[in-house]
Amino acid sequence: MSNPVEPLVTWLQALQQIDSETEAEVRLCLLDTLACVAAGKQAPVYAKVKASIAARSATVELGDRALLLGSAAHALDFDDSEILGSTHPSAVLFACLLPLGQARNATPAELCVAYVAGFESIAWFGRVLGYRHYDAGWHATATIGVLGATAACAKLLNLNATHTDAALRIACSFAAGLKKQFGSDTKAIHAGMVAKHAIEVVMLAQAGCTGGAEVWQGATGYFALHAAANPDASDAHRALGEISAFSSVGVVRKAYPCCHYTHRLIDAAKEVARDMNAGDIEAIELEMPAPYYAVVANAAPSTPDQARFSASYCTASALIDGDITLASFSEAALARPAITELLPRVTALPYTCDGLPDLSPDAPDTLHVKRRGGERISIEVVDVRGTRGLPLGETALRTKTAQCCRPAHSGAQVEALVEFCLDDSSRARDRSVQTAPLPFLHV
C-alpha cells in the first residue's frame, strides 16, 4: 500500500458524530482528566513549566496552555491509560482540545467527537506497533500520543483529507519520548509537549505545509523505527469501522496516583493489610511479569516521582496504610520509619511472559507475604481496577474529583466542574467550551 495510513485518514473524514453512550463515557474521561489537572497544578513540575514560559513570554499562548494542561494532567500519574497503544490518551487529547476548543468556540459535544477521533487513532497506531514498541523503551504517550492528538485537533478544526494526512506526516517528526524519563519531571512534560505539538502541527498543515511522501514506509520510516519489527497494518485496517476501540476496550481509569503496573499489587496489599499489621511482616515477594516490572523496578526510591514507579514502595505503603492516596507520595511519606524498615524486606520475582498485550489478565501479579512466625499468605490479582471488568464509574470519579480538587477549590467549584463535564442536556450541548469552570482551565 503506497500510503498505509490512508484508511485511517478516510475513516477520520467519515467520522461526524458519536452515539450518546459513547459521549457519556467521553465526558467521564473529561471529568477524570480535569480532576487530575486540578491535583497536578499543585505538583512541582507544573510550577517549573509555568516559570519557563514566563521567562520567555509575557503571555501564555495557545500551545503553551496545552503544554501546561498536559503536564498538569500527567504530573501525578493519576490520569487514565489504554492498552492497545500503552498510552495515557485523555491527558494528551484534552490538553490540546480544550484550549483549541476555547479558541474556536467549540461545544463540549464537538470536543467529544474530536476526542474519539484521537483515541481511535491512538488505538490504530497501537495495533500496528504492538506492545513491542512500548517494551522496547519508547514512551508511547509521546510517540503514539502525538499522532492521536494531531488527529483529534484535525477533526476539531474540520481539516480536509489532504490537510489531515499532511498533519499526521508532520507529526511523525515529533514522535519521541523514552521510558528512561520515568520518575522525572520529563515524563509529565512529554504529555504537555505532545499537546502543544499537535496544535502547532495542525496549524502548519492547515497553512499548506507538507510531510515526507514516504514517511511511514521503509527501514527508516516511522513504523520500522518505532516497532523494531516488520509492522503489519492489516489488522488495524480491518478494525476501522468494525470495532470501536473506545467502546470495546476503552480507557483504564486509575484508582491510585501511580504507575498502573503497581495497581494489582496495591489491591493485594490492601487485602493483606485488613488482617495483618505491617510490623508483623517478615518478608514480601512480588511476583509479576518481567516487562511490567521493568517499568516499576526502582526498589529504593528517593523522590515522590520515583516512588510512583516503584512496585516495592507502593506495595509496602499499601501494607502499612491500607491504601494508596495522593498523600502516599510526599517526602514525608517516603521518610517514614515504617517504610524504611519494610522496603528492605521486599523481593521482586519477575517472570517471562513474551507475546502478551499490556495489562494482560493472562499475566497476573501475585503478592506473597510471610508473617513473623512462619505463616505465608499469597494473593493473585488478575484484573486491574479501572478496566472494563472492574470499571471506575461516575460515583468513584466524583469521589476522586473531590479528593484531587482539595484544598485548592471549593465544593461549589467542584460541583461546577462535574456539571460542566457530565451535563449532556440540549442546553449544555450547544454552549461553548469557553463556559468551562475557569479555576480548572486557567493556567
Q: What is the pTM of this model?
A: 0.95
Q: Residue 291: what pLDDT?
A: 95
Domain boundaries, the chain: 6-255+391-441, 260-381
What is the arithmetic mean of pLDDT over 385-395? 88
- 226-230, 245-249, 331-335: the lowest-pLDDT one: 226-230
Query: What number does CATH give the domain 6-255+391-441?
Result: 1.10.4100.10
Please tell me the class of the 260-381 domain: alpha beta
The pair phi, psi for residue 366, each rounded to 5°, is: -130, 130
Residue 301 one-letter amino acid: P
Is the model more confident about 373 or about 49? 49
pLDDT at position 140 is 98
Closest to 265 in 3D by CA, of 386, 382, 387, 353: 382
How do residues 155-193 score in pLDDT, each as one tens digit?
A: 999 999 999 999 999 999 999 999 999 999 999 999 999
Q: What is the mean pLDDT of the chain?
A: 93
The pLDDT score that the predictor gives to residue 312 is: 98
Alpha-carbon dihedral of residues 358, 144, 422, 111, nearest 10 degrees? -160
Torsion of CA 143, 172, 186, 253, to 10 degrees: -40
pLDDT confidence band for 258 (50 / 70 / 90): very high
**pLDDT tens-place string over residues 67-122:** 999 999 999 999 999 999 999 999 999 999 999 999 999 998 999 999 999 999 99
Distance between CA atoms of 164 and 110, rounded to whole angstroms?
17
- As a dihedral over the C-alpha atoms of residue 10, residue 12, residue 16, residue 19, rounded to 10 degrees, the angle is 120
Q: Are 85 and 126 in contact (CB under 8 A)?
A: yes
Q: Are 6-255+391-441 and 260-381 equal in CATH topology? A: no
Per residue in 262-294, pLDDT tens? 999 999 999 999 999 999 999 999 999 999 999
According to the model, what pLDDT value does residue 55 have? Answer: 95
Specify whether the CB–CB gap between 39 and 405 falls below 8 A.
Answer: yes
**pLDDT grade, residue 441 (50/70/90)?**
low
